[in-house]
Chain A
Amino acid sequence: MTYIKPRFRHPELPKNKIGYAKADYEGAISTLCAGCGHDSISGAIVQACYELSIEPHRLAKLSGIGCSSKTPTYFLSNSHGFNTVHGRMPSIATGAYLANRELIYLGVSGDGDSASIGMGQFVHAVRRNVNMVYIVMNNGCYGLTKGQHSATADLGAQSKTGSVNPFPSIDLVGLALELGATFVGRSFSGDKTQLVPLIKAAMSHPGFALLDVISPCVTFNNQSKSTKSYDYVRAHLEATATIDFVPHKEEIRVDYHPGHSASVELHDGSVIQLHKLAPHWDPTDRNSAVTRLQESKIKGEILTGLLYIDPESQGLHDLEQTVPQALNTLQEEDLNPGAKLLDEINESFR
């Protein structure tokens, strides 16, 4: 009987720039169903953090309720964590980010947690451009309660019990574009070659970065008439471009083909490289992203990859023009400049 992951690791496991192996970013053994897409996303997060050489204590993982929101236990066990009430992760993330802008915030949510109970929270985190990565592990069903359709289930999709979904789905990607999100991507749990660079790019983006990751529920939503099964998603995938993420100060090795490639430089000097671009699409043009998304929807494709990025994005702290240091490190003398200064200010209004 094995509920425990053996402690031995590959003896030649490579180390990243700060001396950690990939295994140092792992978490506890997953208790999700075998083959759950969420576990692959956890694996991609581990891979991305390892490749970015993130110091585990510099990252905070936050989640709500649901299968998806259990996953932070299964990765980055040396990082900070906060498991919030159902749908309320964006508020906690906003508060944490305001108090300490120096951490990397990684929110993990599901389709129920974000598109139903937490919708009111989600939209405000988007429009405030809270500096965080917001991953939605989207399986189109309520896996914890035996697979009822969720708000992201496609119109006409059939559940495992046979009921056909009579409602149109909420597309979180379209919604986020509409709300002014500064980084929007979609991916598939079964495609780590796309997902890992997307997570890395999202983590380097200053502002709200939404990644809607289709993640098949093997137990309740992997049947033939599901539109979120491994087979269906693989058959209908359409990528905007293949993506490479090149961290700051690393040599760019891939050839640049005008018209077929584009590169977007982020504020910290790292570069997102896109190849085999979809026609009529510019990653920095919100309109073209919206158009491209609609076209794909009409064709019945699932458009994945980086859809839109605003390279000029400014996070909530910059929008609010707060001080550069973390608010939770401000001392009494910083916050209370004294009666003399107050008098001077009051005097200036007379």
Chain B
Amino acid sequence: MKPTNIKDPEYFHKVVDCQYACPAHTPVPEYIRLIAAERYTEAYMVNWESNVFPGILGRTCDRPCEPACRRGRIEEEPVAICRLKRVAADNKGEVRSLMPAVPKEKNGKKIALIGGGPASLTVARDLAPLGYEIHLYDDQKAGGGMMRSQIPAFRLPESVLAEEVDYVLDMGVHTHLNTFVSSMKDMLEKDYDAIFVGTGAPRGGDLPKLPGRWDTKENIHLGIEWLASVAFGHTTKIGKKVLVLGGGNTAMDCCRTARRLGGEQVTVVVRSPFRDMKASPWEIEDAQREDIPILNNMPPKKFVVENGKLKGIVFEKVAAIYDEKGKRTLIPTGEPDVFLEADDVLIAIGQDNAFPWIERDLGIKFGNWDLPVVDKITFQSTLDRVFFGGDAAFGPKNIITAVAHGHQAAISIDLFCRGESVYNRPAPMTNLVSQKMGIHEWAYDSPVVIDARYLVPHVDKQLALKDRTMEVELGFDQPTGFKEAQRCLNCDVQTVFNTSRCIECDACVDICPTSCITFTTNDEEAELRQHLSAPAHNTTQDLYVSEDLPTGRVMIKDEDVCLHCGLCAERCPTAAWDMQKYLYQVTKAAPIWNNSML
């Protein structure tokens, strides 16, 4: 293998699994350390710089970071990264003064944002400090998009949402609320220098061909529309027997909301096996905790409507068969069909993009599934001054992905407005600093605690079910937040190896608790992976290879289960190993908050 090029900014970035997995590349260990140090305000700002909505995401994020967390490869559970983010948001002090100033003198460029969700708000946040005049259009009465209409208040309190939406809107954004944009042509005729489309995936999936679907209009609802209607106070009750069709997070939100609106027997029915459900495991647990059974392997066969009144649904029983490639087919088992009674049915089987308002003769090309053709790096459409982001760009994902899109689209819009190539992307900001303070002292808490993951306390179930706006999760208190924060392995504190200093004494090999380090003759990667101190089967994790040492061997470190405990560096007599904190920050269109000042 060739020596590892640690100057490549992505090498050490990849070692910080959580940050690498985060679409917005939030510097997770950095803010977790700040939480442990009770510097909640700074922890919040590190988040705000990266993901714009720490309080919202600390409650609702899909958490791609947690399955990636190195701790999950060493013991049972990853660090509760998402809930620590909330600790920062809940305990922060005054933050407005730390946010970038918006120049009174504008730069003369006008930007329109269509849709008031996370993608558009991120674009606004990143461009406002540069003096752009920003106009945000949304058909809802307040900003926030799907975060407002689709996420129930018992998961995300209105006050938290409003606070973080307002941080952005208060940067001088001109809002055009209660305004449905019905024609892109009209928008293009206005004097905007660039238009960003962040309209999400607003069309709920339906079962239009299922027999009986159109026999009644009253009691069959589309999940996301129904959730929005509840959120805006138009719907306040539901029947006692409710069936929810679908296995995603929207289905979980629907069933739990139904429980709060009078649903006594709420049942989720999934066509596929339980293990194939798309909902996050913790959302499934929360639903089950509220006495909501989830039935699987039951696709709906027909709605039963008598005299114009919904009676229930007949379901077929199936089993999932997987072929060699893992492709699934649902085969009827031949068991008798099942009839389940229902006063109301909520259909939550996915959602799609919808652009009926974009005329097809404007130069904006559309491709498969009626999605616009959008550049994956620049988020530019085929019409150069129109940009897309969030669910509107590549279909439904999640909030944090929308935020990541927003940052990149903002960079493109800024480059475009300045007449530069949108492919002229800025490099990430990186910083690598030694943490050495003494023989056994580091500027981070190097000992590895063995605590298991702490559970977030919940409000009493009886109380929660009475009030749809009562937040169920109470969040970690400060002492528990500290203990959970200490579970973080500080993967951003990198083991940096200096070949010229190494005397090959083996001290690091002997001390390494997880047998990560090997000194051996060089070979091909596949061969080396078999013959290290411990087998290196996880090929998603790199091998860190040194240059040739005096004995002709090389140092090879398997990054996979390194605890970042610093013992290799402590036991190294020549400081060939050093623990160096690596900060990687995605460059934004405007400077927001300088983490390296911490």
With A and B bound together, what is the CA distance between A6 and B534 in angstroms? Answer: 17
Check B551 for interface membership: any CB of A closer than 8 A. yes
Give residues in A with beta carbon < 8 Å to B: 1-14, 22, 29-30, 33-37, 39-40, 42-43, 189-190, 192, 216, 218-219, 222, 230-231, 234
Indicate whether A9 sits within 8 Å of B515 (C-beta atoms), given known contacts A2-B447, A34-B507, A230-B504.
yes
Query: Among the listed stretches B61-69, B149-157, B569-577, which one makes contact with chain A, having 4 or more residues with CB under 8 Å of it?
Result: B569-577
Q: Which of B546-598 contact A (CB under 8 A)?
A: 550-551, 561, 563, 565-567, 570-574
Indicate whether A36 sits within 8 Å of B507 (C-beta atoms), given known contacts A1-B446, A1-B447, A10-B561.
yes
Check B539 for interface membership: any CB of A closer than 8 A. no
Indicate whether A2 sits within 8 Å of B570 (C-beta atoms), given known contacts A11-B74, A36-B507.
yes
B510–A7 CB distance below 8 A: no
With A and B bound together, what is the CA distance between A139 and B162 in angstroms? Answer: 70
Q: A2-B440, A40-B510, A190-B504 are in contact. List 20 more A-B contacts (CB 8 A).
A: A1-B440, A6-B563, A7-B448, A7-B450, A8-B75, A8-B563, A10-B516, A11-B74, A11-B561, A12-B534, A34-B439, A34-B570, A34-B573, A35-B503, A37-B505, A39-B571, A43-B510, A189-B505, A234-B550, A234-B551
The smallest beta-carbon distance between A226 and chain B, in angstroms, is 13
B506–A216 CB distance below 8 A: no
When A and B form their complex, what is the total count of cross-chain residue pairs whose Cβ atoms lie within 8 Å?
109
The smallest beta-carbon distance between A217 and chain B, in angstroms, is 10
B572–A34 CB distance below 8 A: yes
Task: List A contacts of B448 (CB < 8 A).
Answer: 6-8
Partner of A10, one of B509, B511, B514: B514
Task: List B contacts of A10 (CB < 8 A).
Answer: 514-516, 534, 561
The smallest beta-carbon distance between B370 and chain A, in angstroms, is 46
The smallest beta-carbon distance between B579 and chain A, in angstroms, is 11
With A and B bound together, what is the CA distance between A36 and B507 in angstroms? Answer: 7
Interface secondary structure of B, over-half rule: loop
A40–B514 CB distance below 8 A: no
A13 (CB) vs chain B CBs: closest residue: B534
Q: Please, what's the 1-or-0 string for B447-458, where 1 marks a CB less than 8 Å from any CB in chain A?
A: 110100000000
Number of interface residues of B (CB under 8 A): 38
B71 (CB) vs chain A CBs: closest residue: A8
A7 (CB) vs chain B CBs: closest residue: B450
Task: List A contacts of B447 (CB < 8 A).
Answer: 1-2, 4, 6
With A and B bound together, what is the CA distance between A190 and B567 in angstroms? Answer: 19
A193 (CB) vs chain B CBs: closest residue: B520
With A and B bound together, what is the CA distance between A35 and B551 in angstroms? Answer: 17
The 5 A-B pairs with the shortest beta carbon distances in the complex, nearest first, are A35-B573, A43-B510, A6-B448, A10-B534, A40-B506
B505–A190 CB distance below 8 A: yes
Task: List A contacts of B511 (CB < 8 A).
Answer: 5, 29-30, 39
A216–B505 CB distance below 8 A: yes
Indicate whether A230 sits within 8 Å of B505 (C-beta atoms), given known contacts A7-B450, A9-B513, A34-B571.
yes
With A and B bound together, what is the CA distance between A87 and B74 in angstroms? Answer: 44
Task: List A contacts of B567 (CB < 8 A).
Answer: 2, 5-6
Check B2 for interface membership: any CB of A closer than 8 A. no
Check B535 for interface membership: any CB of A closer than 8 A. yes
Partner of B509, one of A33, A43, A216: A43
With A and B bound together, what is the CA distance between A40 and B503 in angstroms? Answer: 13
